[in-house]
A and B are shown apart, each in its own frame.
Chain A
Amino acid sequence: MAAFRGASAKVFGLKDNKSALPYLLLIPGLLWLAIFFIVPIFSLGQMSTKVPGADIGEFVQEYRFSNYIDAFNSSKEQFLRSFLYGLLATIIALAIAYPLAYAIAFKSGKWKNILLVLVVAPFFVSFLLRTIAWKQILGEEGPVVSVLRTLNIISVNTSITSSAFAVVTGLAYNFLPFMTLPLYASLERIDPRTLEAAGDLYANGFTTFRKVTLPLSMPGVVAGTLLTFIPAAGDYINATILGSPSNKMLGNVIEARFFKIVDYPAAAALSFTLMAAILILITIYTKRTGTEELV
């Protein structure tokens, strides 16, 4: 494998360039990211240790690091819930997307391109409209609940929406293409002859999958799970539309601290903690694969 990569690097190699050209190409875009991504993250860090001033919406820098402890203690529950829901949604999305990506990559023949378009197509309908559609389909006046109630599968008092189940499946649904596309990309790269070779060496279907297909598709699994988990853990739309107040996630708390309570320092401390927690998780998770593959 390594030798193969070395050979391809020679053909499609990067140019060594001592001129200023690559930097000239980078400057405008990286400057934009520096000013509107890096600087704001620093502002957020500064805000997180401030304390309320004399007027509402005015904050004074006191380097009060216990803001973090206070903010975390007051929303421990939502914090853990965000990570739990994000994790569950990622697992569900993986379970749905892996066989789907596999079928498109290996079993679709000439339909491949059309099926790929169909994977992305639902996401051209606004994210909010789709989430609200789920709410109405699964809601009190929707068809699913009334059928299940007539068949006595669920009782009159049981609902599907306003539950953890609805929020988690909503998250899994909404971020499904972020899972399917990287999985497809890595599965499609596998040479079908390697699978045939495994069969020739008396591996059955399951062994071939476990020893050949799955390891070769790992870059897609890593990229897909990250691209699903990150937005899912930070989301608050699904929890707002599909959940009840007992399903609130960290995003709901941050949003409320910003817009309803106008407690910017606490909101900043929570945002910073969320970002740090996710970055630590990514670092541990991608320690072996590296990020060059992801970008």
Chain B
Amino acid sequence: MKNLTKWLSKNLIRIYAFFAFTYLFIPVLYTFVFSFNDSRKTNLIWKGFTLDKWKNPCGAPDICSALGNSFVIGFTATAISTVLGTLIAFALGRYRFKGRSATNLLIFLPMATPEIVLGASLLTMFVNLGINTSILTAIIAHVMFCISFVVVTVKARVASLDPRLEQAAMDLYANEWQTFRRVTLPLVAPGIAAAALLAFSLSFDDFIITNFTAGTVNTFPRFVYVSAGRGIPAQANVIGSAMFFLALFIVVAAQIVSSRRKAKI
């Protein structure tokens, strides 16, 4: 008994962490299990196991066109925001210049503003200018809210670089461009990749800002939200689970690659 209490108090934090992880994964597990449900329109009650929904994920009306739009918005917004954000991150992580704190503030403010205010303000501007909201305005909005997150992620990586590596390259007669291309960029690349993944997942998952800026363009989160009222088809669970495994695969693969690279060095 005494041993048990001792063991418990020693491992209390691990037990707590275990329960926290269980809590985190309950909805994921539920979503995954119900992607195999042999349901018709609604997916509320377990009706039996089937692989039909995985074989035919586009079986529910409109689901794949919505998914396609989410990918178009996600990829475009990720590409643009990663480039713009990385440039800012290099300026902030490297140089002391006039207007530095104003720049920091401008990066911080969009993150400190609730999504509904970002969405509402963009819609107001588009209405004022007589611009019809479309997939283009949605992309513009997504780039805007992704930039700050890219800056924060890449800047951390730039700031943690050891400047002596670049000095070494310069000592070996590399010019500034060669140093950047051969030394700095490869070292910062994992940070840029992480930022792009973050930007894509923020964009792909966004509902509130999209709802204000995408006009009638359907996206995957919008599809889920609209069908929530009358029951979500199990195909939505298939797509949600597939995205989960895809993202997990990318992250784990990246971890393995980076630990191998470290082992080489």
Contact = CB atoms under 8 A, between A and B. Distances in A.
Interface in A23-39: 23, 25-26, 28-30, 32-34, 36-39
A9 to B, nearest CB: 11
B240 A129 contact: yes
A248 to B, nearest CB: 13
Contacts, number: 261
A243 to B, nearest CB: 13
A199 interface: no
Nearest to A252: B116
Given A47-B124, A275-B114, 7 more contacts: A44-B124, A100-B16, A123-B201, A126-B240, A141-B44, A230-B112, A255-B211
A202 B159 CA distance: 37
Contacts of B211: 255
Interface in B38-69: 44-45
Given A117-B252, A124-B243, A132-B232, A29 B85 contact: yes
Contact of B221 (A14, A57, A128, A137): A128
Interface string A63-106: 00000000000000000000000000000000011011011100
B163 interface: yes
Contact of A129 (B87, B117, B162, B224): B224
A56 interface: no
B215 to A, nearest CB: 12
Interface string B163-197: 10000000000000000000000000000000000
| Interface of B (DSSP majority class) | helix
A9 B221 CA distance: 44
Interface string B85-111: 101101110111100010111111111
B73 interface: no
B214 interface: no
Given A22-B91, A117-B252, A40 B114 contact: no
Nearest to B221: A128
Interface in B6-27: 13-14, 16-17, 20-21, 23-27
A274 B119 CA distance: 13
Given A32-B144, A278-B112, A295-B104, A134 B91 contact: no
For chain B, give the interface size range. 35 or more
Contacts of A295: 92, 104, 107-108, 151-152, 155
Given A37-B109, A40-B124, A12 B147 contact: no
A29 B14 contact: no
A193 interface: no
B252 to A, nearest CB: 7
Given A29-B84, A126-B220, A128-B207, A44 B243 contact: no
A189 B227 CA distance: 45
A-B pairs, 7 with minimum CB distance: A234-B114, A29-B84, A40-B121, A133-B27, A124-B247, A103-B17, A25-B91
Given A99-B13, A128-B224, A282 B124 contact: no
20 contacts: A21-B91, A26-B103, A29-B151, A33-B144, A36-B122, A36-B141, A38-B106, A43-B121, A113-B259, A129-B27, A129-B232, A136-B34, A137-B26, A173-B24, A230-B111, A235-B208, A268-B120, A271-B120, A272-B117, A279-B112
B31 interface: yes
Contacts of A11: 163
Interface residues of A, number: 90
B204 to A, nearest CB: 8
Interface of B: 13-14, 16-17, 20-21, 23-28, 30-31, 34, 44-45, 83-85, 87-88, 90-92, 94-97, 101, 103-118, 120-125, 127-128, 140-141, 143-144, 147-148, 151-152, 155, 159-163, 201, 204-205, 207-208, 211-212, 220-221, 224-225, 228, 232, 236-237, 240-241, 243-244, 246-248, 251-252, 255, 259
A235 B209 CA distance: 11
A237 B208 contact: yes
Contacts of B84: 28-29, 32
Contact of B241 (A97, A120, A125): A125
B180 to A, nearest CB: 11
A227 B115 CA distance: 12
A119 interface: yes
A122 B45 contact: no
B115 A258 contact: no
Given A99-B16, A233-B114, A128 B201 contact: no
Given A41-B121, A134-B27, A291 B108 contact: yes
Interface in A263-295: 264, 267-268, 271-272, 274-275, 278-279, 282, 291-292, 294-295
A226 interface: yes
Contacts of A233: 114
A84 B244 CA distance: 32
